[in-house]
Structure 1
């Protein structure tokens, strides 16, 4: 895909600025200024997904994540965003999120967030052995201290906190 060019880069930069300031309406207004031909550019879709996630608009977030996978299947973020949104939409849930994220583990073997999120889903579905295995895979990729810190601050993994503290 071609890199974004002015003025779209300016609109995207402004959207990011408004997003970081917490003004989602202005961020969306800047995103709307991006040319129709580049609305599905991965950089635009990434920011659009962040805005929808901040708004907890999971249906729109899911749609944007699907577009991101379509336009940039080599980016792990689209796969992660899709699972994250799918977990939260009415027609989704934990199992659906897990099932959609599982193929990404093979596709992106060096991305620790994928096995980490799979551990969260497994833990919430009370599949603790599976959760342990996914956490171990995340540790192998990102290192013990980083994953331990994340896990002990993640309510999804609360059933394993005592174990995680000991290791």
Structure 2
């Protein structure tokens, strides 16, 4: 896989990617992977292909594979927040919240307008029991995003349960 991916995925690979995306959205990850496997080596390392592959494996709860894909995305596309978030979330779902936090926290300042990063850091901190740190990150997410939307999501997120009283439930 090359880090020099073309910006546009050309047919027939674009059609295979579209089909894989459709199957994934329908919840049929087996068929999604069949179509993804039809994509040529020229486009296998393309950001969009990797991102869809991560989501397919996430639906399958194949977190080890997701962590690998997230790591590859970080390596090939370090200026994109998605790879960092994907890799950290994979670690989180592998019950490695501390590792997820340690991966994502240093890059938070690289993506100062992305509310998903502080929100995820709050989730991770909740899971390893640092409620004050979790609340601090939650407040950052709230400032960056739409306050009511962030609050609504947090109050329905079981990973944030330890913050519900502080948030206002």
| TM-score (structure 2 length as normaliser) | 0.93
2:13 is aligned with 1:8: yes
- Asked whether 1:94 is paired with 2:91, we answer no
Equivalent in the alignment of 1:106: 109
For residues 10-54 of structure 1, the C-alpha deviation after alignment (integer angstroms, 9 at most, x for no partner) is 000000011111111110000001011211100000010001101
Within 5 A, what are the aligned runs for 1:6-155?
Answer: 6-89=11-94, 93-155=96-158
1:103 and 1:82 mapped to 2: Cα distance?
A: 14
For residues 96 and 161 of structure 1, what CA distance do their matches in structure 2 show? 24
TM-score normalised according to structure 1 size: 0.94
Q: Which runs of 5+ in 2 are unaligned?
A: none
Match in the other structure for 1:158: 161
Cα distance in structure 2, aligned partners of 1:146 and 1:128 = 21
Equivalent pairs, count: 164
CA drift at 1:130: 0.6
Displacement of 1:104? 2.1
Cα displacement (A) at 1:160: 1.5
- Output the aligned Cα RMSD: 1.2
Q: For residues 72-121 of structure 1, give each alpha carbon's deviation from its aligned partner in whole angstroms, at most 9, with x where no partner exists.
A: 212111100000111233xx611101000112201111100000010111
Q: 2:113 is paired with a residue of what secondary structure?
A: coil
Distance in 2 of aligned mates of 1:60 and 1:123: 25
Shift of 1:71: 2.1
